Amino acid sequence: MLMMAVFHHYLTVEGQGPADALRAAQLWMLDPDRENPGSLTGELLREIRRPGLERLPVWAAFIHQGHPGPGRAAAATRSASAKGAV
């Protein structure tokens, strides 16, 4: 649950593409000094300090399938460029 919440943070709040957001969440899980990325509350916030989160079997089964797609920031830049090119 924690892994997916952090993935969702990077995907929606940080605007990363799905593949990049998953990679960022994986690196976050591996960091023994991990901190709240800014969107965790309640039980998820308490989970950050649970021992053993860096162990691969805890979260390694999560994968991304499909087009890696650009993040929102890249999409917004393309959209702005397209409007100016009309």
Per-residue pLDDT of 8-64, as tens digits, reads: 999 999 999 999 999 999 999 999 899 999 999 999 999 998 888 888 888 888 888
Measured between its terminal Cα atoms, the distance across the chain in Å is 45
Closest CA to 11 of 77, 56, 75, 83: 75
Q: What's the pLDDT score for residue 58?
A: 83
Q: What's the pLDDT score for residue 82?
A: 57
Per-domain residue ranges of the chain: 2-84
Structure confidence by residue, pLDDT tens digits, 51-73: 888 888 888 888 888 877 766 65
> How much is the pTM?
0.74
